Amino acid sequence: MEIRKADVVRSLAGRDTGELFYVSSVEGGFAQIVNGRDRRTDKPKRKKLRHLEFVRRGDDRTDRKLREGEKVTNSELRRALAQLAGVEEEGGMPNGEG
């Protein structure tokens, strides 16, 4: 699946292997990724697309704000990614299915 802005991805390479991030932009084979903790919105990490794994494309508030270019706070990013990580550990889907 093609990685786009506001998607949640998992890092496949580097010191951040296995961590979840939001994509803040995609350009020329690279993505700018943020998680609100190590990589804040004011200093995103530039990472090759081949080093990222698509996790999900959502429609919650954080996803919509990123996609529409609105200001997203670092705490919103941390909260959304923590919820997603908790759901993944339980083996369920974010919307309660599964």
pTM of the model: 0.85
Tokens linked to 65: 């704000």
Q: At 18, is the pLDDT very low, low, confident or very high (cuts 50, 70, 90)?
A: very high
Angle, helices 61-68/74-90, rounded to nearest 10 degrees: 130
Sheet bearing 30-34, strands edge to edge: 45-48, 30-34, 20-27, 8-11, 52-56
- Residues 8-90, CATH architecture: Roll (2.30)
Q: What is the DSSP letter of 28?
A: T
pLDDT digits (tens, 9 = 90+) for 37-86: 999 999 999 999 999 999 999 888 999 999 999 999 999 999 999 998 88
Amino acid at 24: S
User: What are the extents of the domains in the chain?
Assistant: 8-90
Q: What is the DSSP letter of 6?
A: T
d(CA 91, CA 54) in angstroms, rounded, equals 17
